[in-house]
Every structure is written in structure tokens, then in C-alpha cells.
Amino acid sequence: MPVRRKYILQSILAALALYFGGDWLWQIAVRDPLARAEAQTKQLQENIRRKKADLKEIRAEKEEIAVWEKQSLPADPRLARSLYQAWLVQLVEHVGLVKPNVDSGEPVSHKELYDQLSFTVRGEATLEQLTQFLFEFYRAGHLHQIRSLELTPSSQGRLFSIGLAIDALALPQIKRRDELGSAQGDRLVFKRLADYQIIARRNVFGSGADPDVLAYTRLTGVTYSHGRPQAWFGLDLRGETVRKAIGETLEIGPFRGTILEITDGDVILEIDGQHRLLTIGETLSQASALPPNF
């Protein structure tokens, strides 16, 4: 082999060795450490994200526990049972339940985390009274809930037989020893009892075949007596008429509306807090809603 070709081959082999050796050194010295560093960085970032999420959850739980402590019954379960039962008795008397009975069971401890107290309320009430009871119950800021509610029509006209099962909790770390909490609850959508009265106007036990009184009651005319306008409503299914003056209430089955204004051809009624315009010949279901503050 000529000397020159030998040198060329050696040079090529040296270049190849340098290329592959340099790539191997680059892989070992630079690429692999950089990849490991990137993986460690991603792992650290994931650990930080998880710790932040855990910290956020812990803070939320602490805030929730602080709210529970304000709502909790006193730490002494015996005293808590007595105070809460007295509160229930006062509530049913305020609402006006007929033949009320408020009873309680023995407190049950749950691994020293909290004490569970169970109560029952029985009696007879109208739907209006039951609605008020539920409103006052959920407006109170106690750590309690209604576990079940039984509602049965009775033979006493508009009265219903009711039965409620109630649970209340007492946390052991509470510093209040001899009184219930005074905070108000935040579980109500509306703040006024009047906003819930529509519940009491519903015929919850009516059969599905009952006709809709709104579709069969219409404004038939307007007359005047001693200069005062009077609106006449026809009950198509009954073949009856009802006469109402300004300020009077039109009540037909579950429907209830107050006459606010009467003109020669129209009547304005207040229905569930909203003003509606009814023209002669129209049924109650066709009454047009008026803008607020009309």
C-alpha cells in the first residue's frame, strides 16, 4: 500500500474516531446531565404545584371548620340537647303548629370528632305554617339539617300532619358552653319569607286532572257602584262570577292576586310580587307582565 494512501486511511479513521468519540463525550458530558436536570425541574415543579394545591385545600378546610365552629351546638352534648330542644319548641310555638310534640334521642359520639343529636317534631300545620317553619329553620345558623319530612293531608280542612327528623352536631372544641350560636345561616336563596309563600299556594296534593284555574278564569267586565270601579271575573267551569274592588284579593283555588287598579277595560293585579295587566276577555293565564315599579 502506498505511503500516501496509508496516511489518508489513518486520517479518515482518526476523523471517524474523533467524530464518534466527541459525540459520545457530548452525550455523556452535556446531553444526559441536561436531560436529567430538565426531568428534575419538571418533578420539582409538579411537587410545588401539588403542595400549593394541598395548602389551598387545607386553608379552605380551616375556613370551613371555622364556620362550623360558629354554627356548632355547645360542646357539652347534654346541655346542647336541652338548649336546642328548647329552641325547637320555641320555633313551633312561634309558627303556631297544632298539637306540637318535640322529642330528642340520646347523643351519639363519633370517635370524639363530634356528637350527633337527633330530634323529632310532630304536629299539624297549614302549608303556610310549614313554609314559615322551614324558612326560620334554615335561616338559623345552627349546625343542623332536616333528615326527613313527612307530610300527610288530615281531615281538618287545610291542616296537614307533619313529621320531621332533625340532626344537629356539637363539636368538642367549641368554647361556647351554655348557649347556642347566634350567627344566621346562608343556605336560603331568598331573604324574605314572602318570597316563599308561593309554595303554600300550590295544591301539592291535587290530582293531575284538576283544571288550571288560570286558563278558565277571565275578566268579563268592569262596572261602577257609587263611583267606585268593580271588576267582574267569570269562572268558566263553574258558571259563576266574582266581583272585586280595588284593594281586594281574588282567591280561586291555589291562585291569589290583589286588585291594584281598575280602568274601563283593564285591571292591574299583583301576583306573587309581580304586577300583571289583564284586559276584558282575557283569562288570568293571558295576563301580561308589567315592568318593575310600574
Q: Where are the domains of the chain?
A: 1-70, 77-201, 213-289
**Which amino acid, residue 282?**
E
Q: For the whole prediction, is pTM greater than 0.75?
A: no
Query: Which residues contact residue 123 at a Cβ distance below 8 angstroms, ignoring those fewer than 6 apart?
Result: 92, 97, 98, 99, 100, 101, 161, 162
pLDDT the model gives residue 291 = 81
Contact between 217 and 271 (Cβ < 8 Å): no
| Domain 213-289 CATH assignment equals 2.30.30.830 | yes
Query: Which residues contact residue 24 at a Cβ distance below 8 angstroms, ignoring those fewer than 6 apart?
Result: none
Tens digits of residue pLDDT in 2-25: 656 655 656 665 555 555 555 556
Strand partners, 223: 230
Task: Give residue 167's pLDDT band: very low, low, confident or very high (50, 70, 90).
Answer: very high
Nearest of 166, 170, 180, 165 to residue 108 by alpha carbon: 170
Chain mean position to CA 74: 26
Q: In the block, which residue shows the cell 281586594?
A: 248
Question: Are β-strands 255-262 and 274-279 bridged in parallel, bridged antiparallel, or unpaired?
Answer: unpaired
Q: At what angle do helices 127-139 and 77-95 cross, to 10 degrees?
A: 140
Query: Which residues contact residue 212 at a Cβ distance below 8 angstroms, ignoring those fewer than 6 apart?
Result: 285
Helix (H, G, I), strand (E, B) or coil at 202: coil
Tens digits of residue pLDDT in 246-276: 999 998 877 889 999 999 889 999 988 889 9
| Domain 77-201 CATH assignment equals 3.30.70.60 | yes
